Amino acid sequence: MKVVGLTGGIASGKSTVSKTIQSLSIPLIDCDLLARLVVEPTHPCYHKLVQHFGTVILQSQEMGQPLDRYKFGTIIFSDPVQRRVANGIIHPAVRDEILKRLFKLWIRGTSLVVIDVPLLLEGELWRIVSEVIVVYCPPEVQLERIKSRDGLSEEDALARINAQRPLIEKVDYADHVIYNTSDLESLKTATLKVIDSIQPNPFWTVLAYFPPFTILLAGWVMAKRHFKGDPRTMMDSKSKKEDSTTAAAAAAAAQQQPASSS
């Protein structure tokens, strides 16, 4: 079974790409849906979140009540430390749910499955996918879409964008990029083209059901990702380089300013 990772950013058009993939009868594991599942009152993850953040993140602020997503989002999107804590609780729970579903799909004889993960490259799941698809759109387009779609102020919309890695950094690590810079029909056409290119070879799909080859193929996928490098390290390196370039340019510009007369 070939496992492909799909990622992007908030309001990048990833949801449209996901729907197009599902329309082709390709199994898709939606991590946003799983993230909602693990914060339900019946899930252990819910209790860990309440233990750390308190009942202030719940509707009516009473134990057993559903999560108040607006309050919770306001807390984690405005505080990087709290966001890391929340991710440290939610991500492992989502990962476990993904692995359960992958195992079931493998048992059924599925040849290709796509995992839709907003934070694919920021977490650990990049290690288990054979290829990475990134949906990209310019940041100014993201901003306008979020403001229009969610009715947010520009400040709140920017907070949500800045809480994620810049999409351009993810593009550098991608095996396939779907550019969402035009109309909806163009986005669907680009998606179909990428999906056609990632279809697995039937021969390897059959071999994957023999334990020795299953282990070899899994090892090959992990080795491939390992040699490509940790995307977090690569993105951090690029970010630092860009910050240094920006600082150098600002310093040079400051030196060129004429001295003020006394």
Express each pLDDT in 73-110 by its tens digit.
Answer: 889 988 989 999 999 999 899 999 999 999 999 888 88
Q: Of 121-125, 164-168, 196-200, which one has max mean pLDDT? A: 196-200
Let me know if residue 183 belongs to a domain: yes
Q: What amino acid occupies position 145?
A: R
Question: Over the chain, what is the mean pLDDT?
Answer: 86
Q: How many CB atoms lie within 10 A of CB 150?
A: 12
pLDDT band at 191, cuts 50/70/90? very high
pLDDT attached to residue 242: 57
Percentage of residues in the chain with pLDDT exceeding 70?
88
More confident residue, 242 or 201: 201
Per-residue model confidence (pLDDT) at position 258: 55
Q: Within a domain: residue 126?
A: yes
Confidence of residue 219 (pLDDT cuts 50, 70, 90): confident
Q: Average pLDDT of 55-71? A: 93
Q: How far apart are CA 179 and CA 23, in angstroms?
A: 20
pLDDT tier, 183 (very low <50, low <70, confident <90, very high otherwise): confident
In a domain, 246, yes or no: no
Give the model's pLDDT for residue 217: 75
Q: How far apart (Å, rounded) are the C-alpha atoms in residues 139 and 10? A: 10
Query: For 144-166, how does the pLDDT look when each residue is reduced to its tens digit (9 = 90+)?
Result: 888 888 888 888 888 888 888 88
- Residue 51 is assigned to a structural domain of this protein: yes
255 part of a folded domain: no
Model pLDDT, residue 257: 59
Q: Mean pLDDT throughout 36-51?
A: 95
pLDDT at 246 (0 to 100): 47
The sign one gets for the Cα dihedral 100, 119, 34, 16 is negative
- pLDDT surpasses 90 at 201: no
Mark whether 217 and 172 lie in a shared domain: yes
Same domain, 174 and 121: yes
Give mean pLDDT, residues 11-34: 94
Residue 145 sits in the same domain as residue 173: yes
Q: Can you give the residue range of the structural domain that contains 181?
A: 1-27+110-157+165-239
Number of domains in the chain: 2
Q: How far apart are CA 93 and CA 122, in angstroms?
A: 16
- Note whether 127 and 197 are same-domain residues: yes
Residues 104 and 123 in one domain: no
Q: What is the pLDDT of residue 243?
A: 53
Token output for 75: 């807390």
Task: Give the pLDDT of residue 208.
Answer: 66
The CATH number covering residue 219 comes to 3.40.50.300
Let me know if residue 35 belongs to a domain: no
| Residue at a domain's end among 92, 109, 126 | 109
Task: State whether 44 and 71 are in the same domain.
Answer: yes
Residue 17 tokens read as 């790409």
